[in-house]
């Protein structure tokens, strides 16, 4: 079950999606987090962000919508609060991928510099290029090949550790090629999909902002298609993200070309979901008659 996600050596393909699993220790009452191949911590910026006002989450048919606004304590606060636990988790064989956020290329670089200084136990870093670029009128930093490439190029100069990019669900093949050209070691495909939910009785958004990011099963088959598109566009490994609720959902991503898979919304529904999905994925792989799960990567018959 071991996989290599861009230099991040995972004992199995199950990862967690940033923002849905806290910093890992919050789930210790429910599962042995060290059973997982990796966890991706909630995104942090160089300085603390307050996030958006409530309400910030709501249920919708087939999933959920959020507009949390990446509330975080900043890298320094994150390291002080969770560093000891995460260093111990790494010693137990579960890789820790730290996600960084920013509103400009300079902010991404500063966050990564702090992570490198304060979190030496991190196996690698995930760059969330879906954050709004304030200097560019609020468009996501990674919504164009040029914007994504600029962030990746600057971050690549900071560290030799694996850098993966959490991609927005737009122009994925084109942007993936730009990221690969600038030295990305892997890609997380995809981030949440923008949507809108209106309370028809109050005529107001069900969130404090007009729109939010949709996640959960309603996004799964869009994400599978985008993983397949990216796998056909680049040679670097992919982390499949979007609506993984069962081992068979995870298997779809692997057949489409993903090396590993992140469990996200499922952890809100069932805090034991990630380990359950791992066991279901193991059973599926065994049923396919292979000795190595890597043999099934990209094995979809088209």
Residue 83, marked binder: no
Q: Is 190 annotated as a binding residue?
A: yes
Q: What share of the chain is helix, strand, coil (3-state, %, to 5)?
A: 35, 20, 40
Q: What are the C-alpha distances in Å from 59 to residues 194, 203, 220?
A: 14, 17, 16
Work out whether the CA dihedral 296, 20, 174, 115 comes out positive or negative. negative
296 backbone dihedrals φ, ψ, rounded to 5°: -95, -10
In the chain the first and final C-alpha atoms are separated, in Å, by 25
From the list 132, 125, 135, 120, the residue with the least C-alpha distance to 100 is 125
Catalytic residue from among 44, 98, 119, 131: 131
Tokens of 302: 């088209």
116 catalytic residue (yes or no) = no
**Residue 22 assigned ligand-binding role:** no
CA dihedral of 27, 30, 34, 40, whole degrees rounded to 10: -30
Annotated binding-site residue? 51 = no
Dihedrals φ, ψ of 100, to 5°?
A: -115, 150
209 known ligand binder: no
Question: Among candidates 221, 216, 261, 212, which has minimal Cα distance to 241?
Answer: 261
C-alpha distances in Å from residue 88, one per residue of 70, 94, 122, 192: 25, 9, 11, 30
CA distance 287 to 179: 35
Is residue 192 marked as binding? yes
* Tokens, residue 69: 């606004």
Alpha-helical segments (H) within 55-94 = 74-91
32 is in an annotated binding site: no
- Residue that is written with structure tokens 């989450």 in the block: 57
The Cα–Cα gap between 268 and 256 comes to 25
Q: Which residues are annotated as a binding site for FMN?
A: 42-43, 128, 166, 190, 216, 242-243
Q: Which residues are annotated as a binding site?
A: 42-43, 66-70, 128, 166, 190-192, 216, 242-243
Q: Which residues are annotated as a binding site for substrate?
A: 42, 66-70, 128, 191-192
- Residues that are catalytic: 131
């Amino acid at each position: 079950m071991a996989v290599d996600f861009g230099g991040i050596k995972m004992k199995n393909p199950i990862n967690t999606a940033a923002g849905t699993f806290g910093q890992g220790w919050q789930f210790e009452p429910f599962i042995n987090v060290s059973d997982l191949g990796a966890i991706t911590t909630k995104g942090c910026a160089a300085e603390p962000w307050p996030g958006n006002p409530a309400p910030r989450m709501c249920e919708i048919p087939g999933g959920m919508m959020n507009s949390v606004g990446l509330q975080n304590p900043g890298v320094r606060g994150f390291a002080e609060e969770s560093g000891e636990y995460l260093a111990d988790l790494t010693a137990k064989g579960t890789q820790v991928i730290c996600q960084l956020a920013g509103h400009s290329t300079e902010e991404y670089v500063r966050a990564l510099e702090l992570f490198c200084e304060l979190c030496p136990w991190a196996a690698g870093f995930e760059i969330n290029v879906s954050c709004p670029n304030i200097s560019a009128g609020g468009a996501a930093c990674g919504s164009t090949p040029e914007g994504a490439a600029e962030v990746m190029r600057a971050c690549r100069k900071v560290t030799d550790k694996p850098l993966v990019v959490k991609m927005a669900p737009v122009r994925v093949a084109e942007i993936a090629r730009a990221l690969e050209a600038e030295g990305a070691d892997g890609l997380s495909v995809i981030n949440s999909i923008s949507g809108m939910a209106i309370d028809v009785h109050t005529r107001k958004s069900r969130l404090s902002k007009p729109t939010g990011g949709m996640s959960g099963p309603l996004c799964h088959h869009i994400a599978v298609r985008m993983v397949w598109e990216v796998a056909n566009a680049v040679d670097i490994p992919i982390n499949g993200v979007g609506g993984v609720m069962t081992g068979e959902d995870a298997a779809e991503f692997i057949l489409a070309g993903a090396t590993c898979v992140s469990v996200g919304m499922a952890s809100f529904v069932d805090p034991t979901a990630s380990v359950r999905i791992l066991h279901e994925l193991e059973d599926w792989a065994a049923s396919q008659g292979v000795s190595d799960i890597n043999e099934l990567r990209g094995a979809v018959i088209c």
